[in-house]
Amino acid sequence: MKHIIGVWLFFVLCMPPAFAEGAFCSGETGTVVTFGNGIMSEDRDDAGESRDKIRDSLYATLAPEEFNKLEFDLAYNESYGLMADLYESLKQRLGQDNVVVSFWRWLGGREVIPDEVQEELLKMATRFDFSTMVGEEDLANHLALYRNSILEGKKVMVVAHSQGNLFANAAYEILYHGSDPIQSRSLGITAVGTPASFVGGDGPYTTLVEDGVIAVISLATVTGVLPPLFPNITNILSGATTSDWRGHNFIEEYMAEGSRSVTKIISDTIMVMTGLEQPPQTVQDGIITATLTWGPQPDVDLHAFEPNGFHVYYSARNGASGYLDLDDTSGYGPEHYYVSCATLEAGTYSIGVNYYSGSAPETAFVQIAAGTSVRSFSIPLAESVGTDGNTTPVPVANVVVGGDATVGYTFDIQGIATPQ
Protein backbone atom coordinates (compact mmCIF):
# COMPACT_ATOMS: atom_id res chain seq x y z
CA MET A 1 0.00 0.00 0.00
CA LYS A 2 3.01 2.25 0.30
CA HIS A 3 4.04 2.99 -3.25
CA ILE A 4 6.58 5.35 -4.72
CA ILE A 5 5.10 8.74 -5.47
CA GLY A 6 5.46 10.69 -8.69
CA VAL A 7 7.13 10.09 -12.01
CA TRP A 8 9.65 7.79 -10.31
CA LEU A 9 6.87 5.19 -10.33
CA PHE A 10 7.50 4.52 -13.99
CA PHE A 11 11.06 3.37 -13.43
CA VAL A 12 10.49 1.05 -10.49
CA LEU A 13 10.29 -2.14 -12.55
CA CYS A 14 13.68 -1.41 -14.06
CA MET A 15 15.43 -0.85 -10.74
CA PRO A 16 17.21 -3.47 -8.62
CA PRO A 17 15.34 -4.64 -5.52
CA ALA A 18 17.10 -2.14 -3.25
CA PHE A 19 15.62 1.32 -2.85
CA ALA A 20 16.96 4.49 -1.29
CA GLU A 21 15.13 5.70 1.79
CA GLY A 22 14.09 8.98 0.20
CA ALA A 23 12.42 7.24 -2.73
CA PHE A 24 9.78 5.85 -0.38
CA CYS A 25 9.30 8.85 1.82
CA SER A 26 9.24 11.84 -0.50
CA GLY A 27 6.02 13.39 -1.72
CA GLU A 28 2.55 13.72 -0.25
CA THR A 29 -0.27 11.31 -1.00
CA GLY A 30 -3.78 12.73 -1.14
CA THR A 31 -5.62 9.84 -2.82
CA VAL A 32 -5.07 6.10 -3.13
CA VAL A 33 -6.34 4.88 -6.50
CA THR A 34 -7.18 1.18 -6.11
CA PHE A 35 -8.07 -1.34 -8.80
CA GLY A 36 -10.58 -4.08 -7.92
CA ASN A 37 -10.09 -6.96 -10.34
CA GLY A 38 -12.79 -9.01 -12.05
CA ILE A 39 -13.28 -12.52 -13.36
CA MET A 40 -11.00 -12.02 -16.35
CA SER A 41 -7.99 -11.20 -14.14
CA GLU A 42 -6.57 -14.67 -13.60
CA ASP A 43 -3.83 -13.75 -11.15
CA ARG A 44 -2.22 -10.86 -9.32
CA ASP A 45 0.08 -10.06 -12.22
CA ASP A 46 -2.89 -9.58 -14.54
CA ALA A 47 -4.64 -7.42 -11.97
CA GLY A 48 -1.44 -5.46 -11.42
CA GLU A 49 -1.20 -4.72 -15.14
CA SER A 50 -4.73 -3.32 -15.04
CA ARG A 51 -3.83 -1.11 -12.08
CA ASP A 52 -0.78 0.11 -13.98
CA LYS A 53 -2.93 0.88 -17.01
CA ILE A 54 -5.05 3.20 -14.87
CA ARG A 55 -1.90 4.80 -13.49
CA ASP A 56 -0.48 5.41 -16.97
CA SER A 57 -3.75 6.90 -18.22
CA LEU A 58 -4.00 9.27 -15.26
CA TYR A 59 -0.36 10.26 -15.73
CA ALA A 60 -1.13 11.20 -19.33
CA THR A 61 -4.20 13.19 -18.29
CA LEU A 62 -3.43 15.00 -15.04
CA ALA A 63 -1.03 17.86 -14.40
CA PRO A 64 2.19 16.63 -12.71
CA GLU A 65 1.38 18.34 -9.41
CA GLU A 66 -1.96 16.49 -9.28
CA PHE A 67 -0.61 13.13 -10.39
CA ASN A 68 2.18 13.29 -7.83
CA LYS A 69 -0.41 13.27 -5.02
CA LEU A 70 -1.69 9.86 -6.10
CA GLU A 71 -0.77 6.42 -4.80
CA PHE A 72 -1.79 3.21 -6.58
CA ASP A 73 -2.89 -0.05 -5.03
CA LEU A 74 -4.70 -3.31 -5.68
CA ALA A 75 -7.79 -4.77 -3.96
CA TYR A 76 -7.24 -8.30 -5.22
CA ASN A 77 -9.89 -10.99 -5.11
CA GLU A 78 -9.82 -14.58 -6.19
CA SER A 79 -12.16 -15.73 -8.97
CA TYR A 80 -15.35 -17.02 -7.42
CA GLY A 81 -16.31 -18.61 -10.66
CA LEU A 82 -19.48 -17.20 -12.20
CA MET A 83 -18.30 -18.07 -15.72
CA ALA A 84 -16.80 -21.36 -14.55
CA ASP A 85 -20.06 -22.25 -12.79
CA LEU A 86 -22.08 -21.43 -15.91
CA TYR A 87 -19.77 -23.48 -18.11
CA GLU A 88 -19.62 -26.53 -15.83
CA SER A 89 -23.38 -26.53 -15.29
CA LEU A 90 -24.10 -26.35 -19.00
CA LYS A 91 -21.53 -29.03 -19.82
CA GLN A 92 -22.93 -31.43 -17.22
CA ARG A 93 -26.62 -30.78 -17.75
CA LEU A 94 -26.70 -30.49 -21.52
CA GLY A 95 -24.13 -33.18 -22.21
CA GLN A 96 -22.87 -31.44 -25.35
CA ASP A 97 -19.41 -32.28 -26.62
CA ASN A 98 -19.08 -28.87 -28.24
CA VAL A 99 -19.95 -26.82 -25.15
CA VAL A 100 -16.27 -26.02 -24.59
CA VAL A 101 -16.20 -24.20 -27.94
CA SER A 102 -19.75 -22.93 -28.20
CA PHE A 103 -19.87 -21.52 -24.68
CA TRP A 104 -17.35 -18.80 -25.52
CA ARG A 105 -19.00 -18.15 -28.86
CA TRP A 106 -22.29 -17.64 -27.07
CA LEU A 107 -20.54 -15.46 -24.52
CA GLY A 108 -19.08 -13.22 -27.18
CA GLY A 109 -22.24 -13.06 -29.25
CA ARG A 110 -20.63 -15.02 -32.10
CA GLU A 111 -23.38 -17.64 -32.07
CA VAL A 112 -27.07 -17.49 -31.19
CA ILE A 113 -27.65 -19.06 -27.77
CA PRO A 114 -29.87 -22.14 -28.22
CA ASP A 115 -33.24 -22.19 -26.50
CA GLU A 116 -32.25 -25.07 -24.21
CA VAL A 117 -29.17 -23.13 -23.08
CA GLN A 118 -31.26 -20.04 -22.34
CA GLU A 119 -33.63 -22.22 -20.31
CA GLU A 120 -30.72 -23.63 -18.33
CA LEU A 121 -29.33 -20.16 -17.65
CA LEU A 122 -32.72 -19.07 -16.37
CA LYS A 123 -32.93 -22.12 -14.10
CA MET A 124 -29.48 -21.36 -12.73
CA ALA A 125 -30.52 -17.77 -12.03
CA THR A 126 -33.30 -18.94 -9.70
CA ARG A 127 -30.72 -20.54 -7.40
CA PHE A 128 -27.81 -18.17 -7.98
CA ASP A 129 -26.80 -15.86 -5.16
CA PHE A 130 -24.43 -13.04 -6.08
CA SER A 131 -23.40 -12.71 -2.44
CA THR A 132 -21.63 -16.06 -2.68
CA MET A 133 -19.20 -14.45 -5.13
CA VAL A 134 -17.88 -12.09 -2.45
CA GLY A 135 -15.36 -14.07 -0.43
CA GLU A 136 -15.38 -13.10 3.24
CA GLU A 137 -11.62 -13.13 3.68
CA ASP A 138 -10.91 -11.16 0.51
CA LEU A 139 -13.53 -8.61 1.49
CA ALA A 140 -12.01 -8.28 4.98
CA ASN A 141 -8.63 -7.58 3.39
CA HIS A 142 -10.16 -4.93 1.13
CA LEU A 143 -11.82 -3.29 4.12
CA ALA A 144 -8.49 -3.22 5.99
CA LEU A 145 -6.86 -1.61 2.96
CA TYR A 146 -9.54 1.09 2.68
CA ARG A 147 -9.80 1.77 6.40
CA ASN A 148 -6.06 2.03 6.78
CA SER A 149 -5.74 4.54 3.93
CA ILE A 150 -8.57 6.66 5.36
CA LEU A 151 -7.02 6.52 8.83
CA GLU A 152 -3.80 7.82 7.24
CA GLY A 153 -5.75 10.82 5.96
CA LYS A 154 -6.05 9.65 2.34
CA LYS A 155 -9.04 9.55 0.05
CA VAL A 156 -9.71 6.17 -1.59
CA MET A 157 -10.76 5.92 -5.25
CA VAL A 158 -11.78 2.39 -6.31
CA VAL A 159 -11.89 1.56 -10.02
CA ALA A 160 -13.66 -1.81 -10.05
CA HIS A 161 -14.02 -4.14 -13.02
CA SER A 162 -16.57 -6.93 -13.43
CA GLN A 163 -16.73 -9.11 -10.30
CA GLY A 164 -14.62 -6.51 -8.48
CA ASN A 165 -17.73 -4.34 -8.33
CA LEU A 166 -19.47 -6.87 -6.08
CA PHE A 167 -16.60 -6.52 -3.61
CA ALA A 168 -16.49 -2.72 -3.93
CA ASN A 169 -20.23 -2.39 -3.36
CA ALA A 170 -20.10 -4.72 -0.35
CA ALA A 171 -17.16 -2.79 1.12
CA TYR A 172 -18.96 0.53 0.62
CA GLU A 173 -22.06 -0.78 2.40
CA ILE A 174 -20.02 -2.02 5.39
CA LEU A 175 -17.88 1.11 5.64
CA TYR A 176 -20.83 3.48 5.64
CA HIS A 177 -23.68 1.41 7.05
CA GLY A 178 -21.97 -1.30 9.10
CA SER A 179 -21.32 -1.57 12.82
CA ASP A 180 -18.32 0.79 12.71
CA PRO A 181 -19.09 3.35 9.98
CA ILE A 182 -16.55 5.89 8.76
CA GLN A 183 -17.64 9.49 9.10
CA SER A 184 -16.12 11.17 6.04
CA ARG A 185 -17.19 10.75 2.42
CA SER A 186 -13.69 9.69 1.49
CA LEU A 187 -14.30 6.55 -0.59
CA GLY A 188 -15.66 6.57 -4.13
CA ILE A 189 -16.26 3.93 -6.80
CA THR A 190 -16.12 4.00 -10.58
CA ALA A 191 -17.64 0.82 -12.01
CA VAL A 192 -16.50 -0.87 -15.24
CA GLY A 193 -18.31 -3.77 -16.90
CA THR A 194 -20.33 -4.35 -13.75
CA PRO A 195 -22.63 -7.36 -13.16
CA ALA A 196 -24.28 -5.44 -10.30
CA SER A 197 -27.50 -3.44 -10.47
CA PHE A 198 -26.01 -0.39 -8.71
CA VAL A 199 -22.76 1.37 -7.84
CA GLY A 200 -21.94 2.00 -4.20
CA GLY A 201 -22.32 5.67 -3.41
CA ASP A 202 -24.21 6.18 -6.69
CA GLY A 203 -20.94 6.45 -8.59
CA PRO A 204 -20.69 6.41 -12.39
CA TYR A 205 -20.30 3.27 -14.48
CA THR A 206 -19.15 2.19 -17.93
CA THR A 207 -20.59 -0.94 -19.56
CA LEU A 208 -20.11 -1.61 -23.26
CA VAL A 209 -22.96 -2.61 -25.53
CA GLU A 210 -20.64 -5.27 -26.94
CA ASP A 211 -19.78 -6.76 -23.53
CA GLY A 212 -20.77 -10.43 -23.98
CA VAL A 213 -20.13 -11.38 -20.36
CA ILE A 214 -22.59 -8.83 -19.02
CA ALA A 215 -25.04 -9.89 -21.75
CA VAL A 216 -24.93 -13.49 -20.47
CA ILE A 217 -25.48 -12.36 -16.88
CA SER A 218 -28.41 -10.21 -18.04
CA LEU A 219 -29.86 -13.21 -19.85
CA ALA A 220 -29.73 -15.23 -16.64
CA THR A 221 -31.85 -12.71 -14.76
CA VAL A 222 -35.38 -13.69 -13.69
CA THR A 223 -38.26 -11.97 -11.94
CA GLY A 224 -37.22 -10.70 -8.53
CA VAL A 225 -33.50 -10.58 -9.40
CA LEU A 226 -32.24 -7.15 -10.42
CA PRO A 227 -30.32 -7.24 -13.72
CA PRO A 228 -26.95 -5.58 -14.29
CA LEU A 229 -26.86 -1.89 -15.12
CA PHE A 230 -27.82 -1.30 -18.73
CA PRO A 231 -24.95 -0.86 -21.25
CA ASN A 232 -24.30 2.86 -21.72
CA ILE A 233 -21.50 3.16 -24.30
CA THR A 234 -19.98 1.45 -27.35
CA ASN A 235 -16.54 1.36 -28.92
CA ILE A 236 -17.95 0.31 -32.29
CA LEU A 237 -16.83 2.75 -35.02
CA SER A 238 -14.76 4.66 -32.46
CA GLY A 239 -11.56 4.10 -34.43
CA ALA A 240 -9.97 2.30 -31.48
CA THR A 241 -8.37 -1.10 -31.91
CA THR A 242 -9.95 -3.49 -29.41
CA SER A 243 -8.82 -7.10 -29.17
CA ASP A 244 -11.15 -8.95 -26.79
CA TRP A 245 -13.88 -10.65 -28.80
CA ARG A 246 -15.89 -11.10 -25.60
CA GLY A 247 -15.94 -7.32 -25.22
CA HIS A 248 -15.18 -7.59 -21.50
CA ASN A 249 -11.42 -7.50 -20.86
CA PHE A 250 -10.36 -4.44 -18.89
CA ILE A 251 -7.14 -3.57 -20.74
CA GLU A 252 -7.87 -4.92 -24.22
CA GLU A 253 -11.42 -3.59 -24.49
CA TYR A 254 -12.40 -1.02 -21.87
CA MET A 255 -8.99 0.71 -21.69
CA ALA A 256 -8.12 0.40 -25.39
CA GLU A 257 -6.22 3.42 -26.69
CA GLY A 258 -8.48 5.96 -28.34
CA SER A 259 -11.68 4.20 -27.27
CA ARG A 260 -14.76 5.97 -25.98
CA SER A 261 -14.73 3.76 -22.91
CA VAL A 262 -11.23 4.70 -21.74
CA THR A 263 -12.06 8.38 -22.08
CA LYS A 264 -15.19 7.93 -19.97
CA ILE A 265 -13.50 5.78 -17.32
CA ILE A 266 -10.65 8.21 -16.75
CA SER A 267 -13.00 11.21 -16.80
CA ASP A 268 -15.33 9.53 -14.30
CA THR A 269 -12.41 8.57 -12.05
CA ILE A 270 -11.08 12.13 -11.92
CA MET A 271 -14.56 13.52 -11.31
CA VAL A 272 -15.30 11.16 -8.41
CA MET A 273 -11.96 11.51 -6.63
CA THR A 274 -12.07 15.31 -6.97
CA GLY A 275 -15.40 15.31 -5.15
CA LEU A 276 -14.26 13.12 -2.23
CA GLU A 277 -13.57 14.56 1.22
CA GLN A 278 -10.02 14.51 2.59
CA PRO A 279 -10.38 12.56 5.86
CA PRO A 280 -8.65 13.61 9.08
CA GLN A 281 -5.40 11.77 9.69
CA THR A 282 -5.71 9.39 12.65
CA VAL A 283 -2.62 7.20 12.19
CA GLN A 284 0.77 7.72 10.61
CA ASP A 285 1.93 6.48 7.25
CA GLY A 286 5.21 4.62 7.26
CA ILE A 287 7.72 2.65 5.25
CA ILE A 288 6.44 -0.41 7.18
CA THR A 289 2.86 -0.65 8.45
CA ALA A 290 0.82 -3.47 9.97
CA THR A 291 -2.96 -3.16 10.30
CA LEU A 292 -5.07 -5.61 12.33
CA THR A 293 -8.85 -6.04 12.05
CA TRP A 294 -11.14 -8.78 13.35
CA GLY A 295 -14.79 -9.57 14.09
CA PRO A 296 -17.19 -8.73 16.92
CA GLN A 297 -15.21 -10.25 19.81
CA PRO A 298 -13.92 -7.53 22.16
CA ASP A 299 -10.16 -7.59 21.91
CA VAL A 300 -7.44 -8.92 19.65
CA ASP A 301 -4.03 -7.28 19.98
CA LEU A 302 -1.32 -6.48 17.47
CA HIS A 303 2.28 -7.23 18.46
CA ALA A 304 5.58 -6.28 16.79
CA PHE A 305 9.07 -7.43 17.71
CA GLU A 306 11.70 -5.05 16.31
CA PRO A 307 15.28 -5.84 15.18
CA ASN A 308 16.59 -3.97 18.23
CA GLY A 309 14.75 -6.33 20.60
CA PHE A 310 11.86 -4.01 21.48
CA HIS A 311 8.44 -5.62 21.88
CA VAL A 312 5.71 -3.19 20.82
CA TYR A 313 2.09 -3.82 21.91
CA TYR A 314 -0.69 -2.14 23.90
CA SER A 315 1.36 -2.04 27.11
CA ALA A 316 4.52 -0.74 25.42
CA ARG A 317 3.41 1.27 22.42
CA ASN A 318 6.74 3.01 21.74
CA GLY A 319 9.50 0.96 20.15
CA ALA A 320 12.96 2.04 19.11
CA SER A 321 11.92 2.26 15.45
CA GLY A 322 8.15 1.76 15.42
CA TYR A 323 4.99 2.80 17.23
CA LEU A 324 1.56 1.32 17.93
CA ASP A 325 -0.49 4.45 17.25
CA LEU A 326 -3.95 2.86 17.36
CA ASP A 327 -5.24 0.29 19.87
CA ASP A 328 -8.82 -1.01 20.01
CA THR A 329 -10.57 -2.97 22.76
CA SER A 330 -14.20 -2.97 21.62
CA GLY A 331 -14.24 -5.28 18.59
CA TYR A 332 -13.44 -5.10 14.89
CA GLY A 333 -10.33 -2.91 15.21
CA PRO A 334 -8.31 -1.61 13.59
CA GLU A 335 -5.00 -1.62 15.39
CA HIS A 336 -2.06 -0.03 13.61
CA TYR A 337 1.74 -0.22 13.88
CA TYR A 338 4.14 1.81 11.75
CA VAL A 339 7.85 2.37 11.22
CA SER A 340 8.87 5.75 9.83
CA CYS A 341 11.58 6.29 7.25
CA ALA A 342 13.66 8.19 9.77
CA THR A 343 13.74 5.31 12.28
CA LEU A 344 13.87 2.29 9.93
CA GLU A 345 16.47 -0.33 10.85
CA ALA A 346 17.86 -3.27 8.93
CA GLY A 347 16.92 -6.63 10.40
CA THR A 348 13.71 -8.56 11.06
CA TYR A 349 10.42 -7.12 12.25
CA SER A 350 8.15 -9.94 13.51
CA ILE A 351 4.41 -9.32 13.50
CA GLY A 352 1.98 -11.35 15.62
CA VAL A 353 -1.47 -11.26 17.22
CA ASN A 354 -2.92 -12.24 20.59
CA TYR A 355 -6.58 -13.07 21.19
CA TYR A 356 -6.84 -11.16 24.46
CA SER A 357 -10.55 -11.40 25.31
CA GLY A 358 -13.68 -12.92 23.83
CA SER A 359 -16.11 -15.79 24.24
CA ALA A 360 -16.08 -17.44 20.80
CA PRO A 361 -13.62 -18.33 18.04
CA GLU A 362 -12.44 -15.28 16.08
CA THR A 363 -10.48 -14.57 12.91
CA ALA A 364 -7.82 -11.88 12.74
CA PHE A 365 -6.91 -10.18 9.47
CA VAL A 366 -3.51 -8.55 9.20
CA GLN A 367 -2.33 -6.46 6.29
CA ILE A 368 1.39 -5.67 6.12
CA ALA A 369 2.98 -3.11 3.81
CA ALA A 370 6.74 -2.77 3.46
CA GLY A 371 8.29 -0.64 0.74
CA THR A 372 6.25 -1.43 -2.35
CA SER A 373 5.12 -4.86 -1.13
CA VAL A 374 1.76 -5.61 0.48
CA ARG A 375 0.56 -8.95 1.86
CA SER A 376 -2.59 -9.92 3.73
CA PHE A 377 -3.07 -12.79 6.17
CA SER A 378 -5.97 -14.44 8.00
CA ILE A 379 -5.35 -16.03 11.39
CA PRO A 380 -7.98 -18.30 13.00
CA LEU A 381 -8.07 -17.88 16.78
CA ALA A 382 -9.78 -20.68 18.71
CA GLU A 383 -10.11 -19.03 22.13
CA SER A 384 -8.97 -16.01 24.09
CA VAL A 385 -5.88 -16.41 26.28
CA GLY A 386 -5.66 -13.05 28.06
CA THR A 387 -2.28 -11.82 29.22
CA ASP A 388 -0.80 -15.32 28.79
CA GLY A 389 -0.54 -14.56 25.09
CA ASN A 390 1.32 -11.30 25.47
CA THR A 391 4.75 -12.94 25.52
CA THR A 392 3.91 -15.55 22.90
CA PRO A 393 1.55 -14.00 20.32
CA VAL A 394 0.49 -16.07 17.31
CA PRO A 395 3.10 -15.42 14.58
CA VAL A 396 1.83 -13.79 11.38
CA ALA A 397 4.83 -12.71 9.32
CA ASN A 398 8.42 -11.51 9.37
CA VAL A 399 9.44 -8.36 7.52
CA VAL A 400 13.11 -8.75 6.65
CA VAL A 401 14.81 -5.42 5.92
CA GLY A 402 18.21 -5.44 4.24
CA GLY A 403 20.65 -2.73 3.22
CA ASP A 404 20.90 0.76 4.66
CA ALA A 405 20.03 4.38 3.88
CA THR A 406 23.16 4.79 1.77
CA VAL A 407 22.92 1.80 -0.57
CA GLY A 408 19.15 1.44 -0.28
CA TYR A 409 16.79 -0.89 1.57
CA THR A 410 15.25 -4.20 0.54
CA PHE A 411 12.01 -5.57 1.98
CA ASP A 412 10.81 -9.16 2.13
CA ILE A 413 7.49 -10.01 3.79
CA GLN A 414 7.78 -13.67 4.80
CA GLY A 415 4.44 -15.16 5.77
CA ILE A 416 4.01 -17.54 8.67
CA ALA A 417 0.20 -17.46 8.86
CA THR A 418 -2.10 -18.38 5.96
CA PRO A 419 -1.75 -15.76 3.19
CA GLN A 420 -4.76 -14.36 1.34
**Strand 299-305, strand 347-357: pairing:** antiparallel
pLDDT of residue 6: 30
Q: Judge contact between 328 and 334, C-beta under 8 A.
A: yes
Distance, CA of 38 to CA of 164 (rounded, Å): 5
- Is the previous residue joined to 334 through a cis bond, with omega within 30 degrees of 0? yes
Residue 301 — very low, low, confident or very high, per pLDDT cuts 50/70/90? Answer: very high
3-class secondary structure per residue, the chain? CCCCCCHHHHHHHHCCCCECHHHHHCCCCCEEEEEECCCCCCCHHHHHHHHHHHHHHHHHHCCHHHHCCEEEEEECCCCCCHHHHHHHHHHHHHCCCCHHHHHHHHHCCCCCCCHHHHHHHHHHHHCCCHHHHCCHHHHHHHHHHHHHHHHCCCEEEEEEECCHHHHHHHHHHHHHHCCCCCCCCCEEEEEECCCCCCCHHHCCEECECCCHHHHHHHHCCCCCCCCCCCCCECCCCCCCCCCCCCCCCHHHHHCCCCCHHHHHHHHHHHHHHHCCCCCCCCCCCCCEEEEEECCCCCEEEEEEECCCCCEEECCECECCCEEEEECCCCCCCCEEEEECCCCCCCEEEEEEEEEEECCCCEEEEEEEEECCEEEEEEEEECCCCHHHHCCCCEEEEEEEEEEECCCEEEEEEEECCEEC
pLDDT of residue 163: 83
Per residue in 39-61, pLDDT tens?
Answer: 655 578 888 999 999 999 999 99
Say which residues have a Cβ less than 8 Å from residue 392's Cβ, sequence separation at least 6. Answer: none
Say which residues have a Cβ less than 8 Å from residue 360's Cβ, sequence separation at least 6. Answer: 297
Question: Once rounded to an integer, what is the mean pLDDT over residues 280-299?
Answer: 91
Inform me whether the pLDDT recorded for 155 exceeds 50: yes
Q: Judge contact between 394 and 417, C-beta under 8 A.
A: yes
Q: Which residue type sits at 156?
A: V
pLDDT of residue 46: 87
Residue 92 — very low, low, confident or very high, per pLDDT cuts 50/70/90? Answer: low
Distance, CA of 109 to CA of 30 (rounded, Å): 42
Q: Judge contact between 162 and 40, C-beta under 8 A.
A: yes
* pTM listed for this prediction: 0.77
Residues of the chain with CATH 3.40.50: 30-79+133-274
Per residue in 376-400, pLDDT tens?
Answer: 888 999 999 999 999 999 999 999 9
Question: Once rounded to an integer, what is the mean pLDDT over residues 11-19?
Answer: 37
Residue 16 — very low, low, confident or very high, per pLDDT cuts 50/70/90? Answer: very low
Q: Which of 102, 171, 108, 166 has the alpha carbon at shortest distance from 134?
A: 166
Distance, CA of 178 to CA of 132 (rounded, Å): 19
Distance, CA of 182 to CA of 334 (rounded, Å): 12
Residue 36 — very low, low, confident or very high, per pLDDT cuts 50/70/90? Answer: very high
pLDDT of residue 407: 86
Question: Once rounded to an integer, what is the mean pLDDT over residues 188-199?
Answer: 94
Say which residues have a Cβ less than 8 Å from residue 309's Cβ, sequence separation at least 6. Answer: none
Say which residues have a Cβ less than 8 Å from residue 60's Cβ, sequence separation at least 6. Answer: none
371 compared with 127, residue with greater pLDDT: 371
pLDDT of residue 19: 46
Per residue in 222-247, pLDDT tens?
Answer: 555 678 899 999 999 988 888 777 78
- The chain-wide mean pLDDT, for the chain, equals 82
Tell me the CATH number for domain 30-79+133-274.
3.40.50
